[in-house]
A and B are shown apart, each in its own frame.
Chain A
Amino acid sequence: MAEQKEPKKSSRVADCEPSGEGFRVIGVPRRRVDGRAKVTGQTRFADDIFLPRMAHCKLLRSPHPHARIRKIDVSRALAHPGVYLVLTGKDLPISYGILPVSQDEQALCLDHVRHVGDPVAAVVAREELTAFEALDLIDIDYEILPTISDPEEALATPEPRIHEYGEEGNIHKQVALEFGNVERGFAEADEIFEDTFFYQGNTHLPIEQHASVAIKDPDGKLTIWSSTQTPHYLHRALAKVLEMPAAHIRVIATPNGGGFGGKSDPFNHEIVVAKAAMRLDRPVKICLTREEVFYCHRGRHPVLMRFKTGVKKDGTITGVHLQTLIDGGAYGSYGVASTYYAGALQTTTYHIPRYRYEGCRTFTNKPPCGPKRGHGTPQPRFGQEVQLDKIAEKLRSDPAELRLRIVEAPNTVTANFLRLGTVNLSECIQRVVKSSDWKNRFRKLPEGRGVGLACSAYLTGAGLPIYWNKMPHSGVQLKFDRGGGVSIFCGATEIGQGSDDVLAGIVAEVLGIDPFDIRLFTGDTDLGPVDLGSYSSRVTLMAGNAALEAAERGKALLAEAVALKLEVPKERLRFAEKRVFDSAARDKSVSFAEAICLAEARFGTIGTVGSYTPPKSPALYKGGGVGPSPTYSYSAAVVEVAVNPVTGWVHVPKVWIAHDIGKALNPTLVRGQVEGSVYMGLGEALMEEQEFRRLPRRLSHALVHKFPSMLEYKSPTSLDMPEVITELIEDPDPRGPFGAKEVGQGPLLPIMPAVANAVYDAVGVRIDEVPITPEKVMKALAEKEAGREPRFGPNHFPDINWPEALQVPPPWEGGDGKAVNDPYREKPRPTKDKVLAP
């Protein structure tokens, strides 16, 4: 596609400018509103809560990766002094799960354990140590079952089934979608490229271990504080499993000490302490050990991928066929959505006229995989961007120039019916090419040094909620105080990304006050309206738009009352510097506090609400619920590497990254999100991996984590972090508050393929899998030395019996967003068939 620059549109920005003098809060780098609490250690995380009479909970976890529970005897544990309560699966038999289609978890396993670390019993005692001691006194008789360690084994081993649901055997979910005849696309191509890639699983590793405290309120209701990113979904899960009215449950998401997606599922330990608190009528706390955090997991799915891409001589793509084999671990978690996501966003960066996607997620006896930063999309993006590097080389084209020729146009509806917003990917590429001096360095650096380029796109919030409903995705209430303060009530969850600051910044800008004049009550299901949670990069756009609406409504009330008092038309009033004044005669003014009093005298108590519901998506086919977003962010990165040919060690001295943010609400925090993404991307690219091994036969032969500790699970330290040159492309998107798009996840995505491409530039070997460890580099160098294909990576993709693909003609072939071979094409689909996306 030709580069096509969208004319800079005025966004919602223009309506809110206080006085035509630009913004006072938005776009100004400043201290976040919760900054002081964080640097004084006063931010109250879940484990910082200590309550009178508080008991402590510990979970007994399965030492076996796969077994039946024949018998559990808790009598010795119960008799242990200081033990108050022992719970087993029978006490919490109702299953739950984050997705309506995968209600496959039990808080404590009833009769079947599916991975090492699956909880089977809970002890609540006066002291944490006592609870820990009592775990040893629980007697369990297990019948060991065969273990399934990876997806290929799962395909070959339909029995025993890890779950009694799914497609068949141990296949959890299969997806087959075709948007236009991809074979015809290949027939039109000048060159066909086929590559296989593997992306290893890795985990979030938040520094805060998950913790929860539950109490039975004096009136008999339940309150739980928890390190969760999704208090609303936890609220629903608790109501279901505890069989309590949701109105009697209050979930308070404490600020998370890092989330990255790992605290987005309702967790067994949360349900267990809630049950225990209700049973014992006293506060119950649990704080997981680091090892247990590894068992919670829900991290990056390991994915084997096959990419077949047809291109014209100039690089124009004629068709893409992607197949994925996804290692889901022991439970569904977000996996159905992850399976769709692994194919959904390939069409958002470059123009792909015909696209076929087949994905298969299997169950294995490992901790469940789920959403980690970039949910489901970093793996195929890695394959796509590395393959594009190979394509550019074969076509003798500069990889940056090739990409610039095929970048998708703004406001396009893609082959799979995703409606794009602003697209400034070309600008991103041009910026990093310039700042990195790409043209003088690519293929021109001395042996052992290299640069690589890659791009990506990401959602600015999932277009659909996790459970089917037509209600807003985010709501905000404002309360105006006579003293000039404003309180914000919203379900949005602070996980470090700055969601509180986004809300305060937007409201302060509209009302012309200081963000520090605002009090925030967030992440509390009793106090604030629902926000679906801190996932899918949705908070800035969705909660932000809700806050904007609530603030505008409040401003209108205040303006009406002040206009009467000052005897000026309300349209002439401006709100800035804690005053409301006549823009034509600035000395005619009242203070913001007076304005509230005037409004309260006229209208009664002042409170306003705002809410946000994403636009309807044109993707109407089954599975079309995953991928739509109000708009998408874009990133391009150049990574420089120095590869030591003797050790295989890959050192990254510098990264250049440009991110299409729309508008940076607080540039200090935006930069932090970009650099944090680069950091996490380098970890995934070079060292982080969730690996397993079998214990020797003479022991249990169990499949256990290789690295259930922070010491052995390698993550980058301060010594590993390169210099990062961050550039923000600000082209306000009319769909975002003040034009803002997401930044929390997108900038991670180009890093891994850029590293792989840079390694090739440095030493001429392709590492077609992550992490790119020294061993793999050495093996590839040895292949090169021996005159064989200079590559390390998977060489085959198993035969999978794919279902018939849903045929959805793309928009340019007259498609209407529905599948032509869908039996439900002309009639409404039963609700349970709707695939809902996080």
Chain B
Amino acid sequence: MATFPIESQKTAQIRFTLNGEEVDLSFAPYKTLLEVLREDLGHTGTKHGCELGECGACAVLLDGKPVLSCLVLALECSGKAVLTVEGLSGDGRLHPLQDAFADCGAAQCGYCTPGILVTAKALLDANPHPSRDQIREALSGNLCRCTGYLQVFEAVEAAMIKIAEETKAAHGKSSATSLNRF
């Protein structure tokens, strides 16, 4: 039998959490998290613009922190929690960031949008009331060629207000289920 390229022969196994669900995966060990998400797990919501860590389109959250999935080996994700754009909405509802992006014109072609959304979520999780400059800074690794960024900033700010209101309302009721579903 002919020899196949070595990369295709071996597989690795890991278990990790993808958007709240446990995943057991067998895959070619050279693959990046980006490739595994898109090619092995059918999660094509995460996009790519360079596969060299330059554009930010492939950003996902790894244990809550934004990473460029094209620079992370899937092997490194064993036991960790990955959140992609597919995991933002829940209970049949869009995340406030998603609603705001759709309403404010923050997504034009929509290609950089998933990466920006998860990066913005990480920002708001860490800092619920960022200034415009902090938003600029947080999104400075995500290139967008369509919008000129201004409607993106406005959408993050609109979502920030919405989340604050929802949090306040949730605290008003005694059972603080809060926003964990996101």
Binding site for B on A (CB under 8 A): 31-32, 34-45, 47-48, 50, 81-82, 127, 129-130, 133, 204-209, 255-260, 289-290, 495-498, 668-669, 671-672, 675-680, 709-711, 715, 717-719, 721, 723-724
* 11 further contact pairs, Cβ within 8 A, besides A496-B111, A668-B105, A723-B150: A37-B110, A39-B97, A43-B110, A50-B42, A260-B145, A495-B109, A669-B108, A680-B148, A710-B55, A710-B143, A721-B148
CB <8 Å contact, A715 and B108: no
CB <8 Å contact, A676 and B111: no
Closest Cβ of chain B to A405, distance in Å, is 32
Cβ < 8 Å to A, chain B residues 68-107? 84-86, 88-89, 94, 97-99, 101-105, 107
Interface string of B39-77 (1 = CB under 8 A from A): 100101111111110110100000000000000000000
- Does B137 sit at the interface, judged by CB under 8 A? yes
CB <8 Å contact, A258 and B140: no
Closest Cβ of chain B to A256, distance in Å, is 6
Q: Can you offer 24 A-B residue contacts whose CB atoms are under 8 A?
A: A36-B98, A39-B97, A39-B110, A39-B113, A41-B46, A41-B47, A50-B39, A81-B4, A204-B145, A207-B111, A209-B49, A257-B49, A258-B146, A290-B50, A496-B108, A496-B109, A497-B108, A669-B105, A676-B145, A678-B148, A680-B148, A711-B54, A718-B140, A718-B152
A129 to B101, CA, bound (A): 36
CB <8 Å contact, B104 and A48: no
A114 to B89, CA, bound (A): 49
**CB-defined contacts of B4 to chain A, threshold 8 Å:** 81-82
Closest Cβ of chain B to A442, distance in Å, is 25
**CB-defined contacts of A40 to chain B, threshold 8 Å:** 45, 85-86, 88-89, 94, 98
Give the contacting residue for A82; candidates B5, B89, B94; CB below 8 A: B5
Closest Cβ of chain B to A103, distance in Å, is 30
- Does B160 sit at the interface, judged by CB under 8 A? no
B2, B102, B109, B114: most-surrounded residue (chain A CB, <10 A): B109
A44 to B99, CA, bound (A): 19
Residue in chain B with minimal CB distance to A712 = B54
CB <8 Å contact, B145 and A38: no
CB <8 Å contact, A676 and B146: yes
Given A31-B102, A38-B107, also A721-B51 (CB < 8 A): no
CB <8 Å contact, B102 and A32: yes
Main SS class of interface, B: loop
Residue in chain A with minimal CB distance to B151 = A672
Interface string of B114-156 (1 = CB under 8 A from A): 1001000000000000000001110111111111111111000
**CB-defined contacts of A259 to chain B, threshold 8 Å:** 109
A747 to B26, CA, bound (A): 50
- Does B8 sit at the interface, judged by CB under 8 A? yes
- Does B21 sit at the interface, judged by CB under 8 A? no
Give the contacting residue for A290; candidates B42, B51, B109; CB below 8 A: B51
CB <8 Å contact, A206 and B145: yes
A206 to B57, CA, bound (A): 11
A723 to B97, CA, bound (A): 22
**CB-defined contacts of B143 to chain A, threshold 8 Å:** 207, 710, 715, 717
CB <8 Å contact, A82 and B110: no
A39, A497, A715: most-surrounded residue (chain B CB, <10 A): A39
**CB-defined contacts of B140 to chain A, threshold 8 Å:** 717-719
CB <8 Å contact, B5 and A133: yes
**CB-defined contacts of B141 to chain A, threshold 8 Å:** 717
Given A81-B2, A711-B54, A718-B136, also A255-B109 (CB < 8 A): yes
**CB-defined contacts of B135 to chain A, threshold 8 Å:** 718
A41 to B8, CA, bound (A): 29
A671 to B54, CA, bound (A): 27
A723 to B99, CA, bound (A): 24
**CB-defined contacts of A676 to chain B, threshold 8 Å:** 108, 145-148
**CB-defined contacts of B149 to chain A, threshold 8 Å:** 679, 718, 721
Give the contacting residue for B3; candidates A81, A495, A711, A718; CB below 8 A: A81
CB <8 Å contact, A41 and B84: yes
A35, A678, A680: most-surrounded residue (chain B CB, <10 A): A35
CB <8 Å contact, B105 and A290: no
Give the contacting residue for A41; candidates B39, B44, B55, B105; CB below 8 A: B44
Residue in chain B with minimal CB distance to A667 = B105
CB <8 Å contact, B45 and A42: yes
CB <8 Å contact, A207 and B107: no
**CB-defined contacts of A41 to chain B, threshold 8 Å:** 44-47, 84-86, 113-114
CB <8 Å contact, B108 and A207: no
CB <8 Å contact, A258 and B84: no
Closest Cβ of chain B to A421, distance in Å, is 26
**CB-defined contacts of A207 to chain B, threshold 8 Å:** 47, 49, 55, 57, 109, 111-112, 143-145
List of 10 A-B pairs having minimum Cβ-Cβ separation, nearest first: A41-B45, A496-B109, A38-B110, A257-B111, A679-B148, A35-B102, A41-B85, A675-B148, A710-B54, A48-B44
**CB-defined contacts of B57 to chain A, threshold 8 Å:** 207
Closest Cβ of chain B to A324, distance in Å, is 27
**CB-defined contacts of B3 to chain A, threshold 8 Å:** 81
CB <8 Å contact, A208 and B98: no
Closest Cβ of chain A to B155, distance in Å, is 9
**CB-defined contacts of B55 to chain A, threshold 8 Å:** 207, 290, 710
B2, B86, B103: most-surrounded residue (chain A CB, <10 A): B103
**CB-defined contacts of A209 to chain B, threshold 8 Å:** 48-50
A81 to B98, CA, bound (A): 45
Give the contacting residue for B105; candidates A32, A45, A709; CB below 8 A: A32
**CB-defined contacts of A208 to chain B, threshold 8 Å:** 47, 49, 109, 111
Given A36-B102, A711-B54, also A290-B86 (CB < 8 A): no
A148 to B56, CA, bound (A): 36
**CB-defined contacts of A38 to chain B, threshold 8 Å:** 101-102, 107, 109-110, 113
Closest Cβ of chain B to A557, distance in Å, is 34
A55 to B109, CA, bound (A): 27
Residue in chain A with minimal CB distance to B1 = A81
Closest Cβ of chain B to A523, distance in Å, is 13
**CB-defined contacts of B150 to chain A, threshold 8 Å:** 675, 721, 723-724
Closest Cβ of chain A to B57, distance in Å, is 5
Given A39-B107, A679-B147, also A129-B7 (CB < 8 A): yes
**CB-defined contacts of A256 to chain B, threshold 8 Å:** 109
Closest Cβ of chain B to A687, distance in Å, is 13
CB <8 Å contact, A45 and B85: no
**CB-defined contacts of B109 to chain A, threshold 8 Å:** 38, 206-208, 255-259, 495-496
**CB-defined contacts of B139 to chain A, threshold 8 Å:** 718
**CB-defined contacts of A721 to chain B, threshold 8 Å:** 136, 148-150
CB <8 Å contact, A709 and B52: yes
CB <8 Å contact, A719 and B137: yes
Residue in chain A with minimal CB distance to B30 = A129
**CB-defined contacts of B5 to chain A, threshold 8 Å:** 81-82, 127, 129-130, 133
**CB-defined contacts of A680 to chain B, threshold 8 Å:** 145, 148
CB <8 Å contact, A672 and B147: yes
**CB-defined contacts of A130 to chain B, threshold 8 Å:** 5, 8
CB <8 Å contact, A710 and B52: yes
Residue in chain B with minimal CB distance to A678 = B148
Closest Cβ of chain A to B7, distance in Å, is 6
A785 to B140, CA, bound (A): 37
CB <8 Å contact, B103 and A31: yes
**CB-defined contacts of A718 to chain B, threshold 8 Å:** 135-137, 139-140, 142, 144, 149, 152-153
CB <8 Å contact, A205 and B51: no
A672 to B112, CA, bound (A): 15
Closest Cβ of chain A to B157, distance in Å, is 13
Closest Cβ of chain A to B96, distance in Å, is 11
CB <8 Å contact, B108 and A498: yes
Closest Cβ of chain A to B92, distance in Å, is 12
A163 to B44, CA, bound (A): 42
**CB-defined contacts of A498 to chain B, threshold 8 Å:** 108
Closest Cβ of chain B to A669, distance in Å, is 6
**CB-defined contacts of A37 to chain B, threshold 8 Å:** 110
Give the contacting residue for B151; candidates A81, A82, A133, A671; CB below 8 A: A671
A362 to B39, CA, bound (A): 43
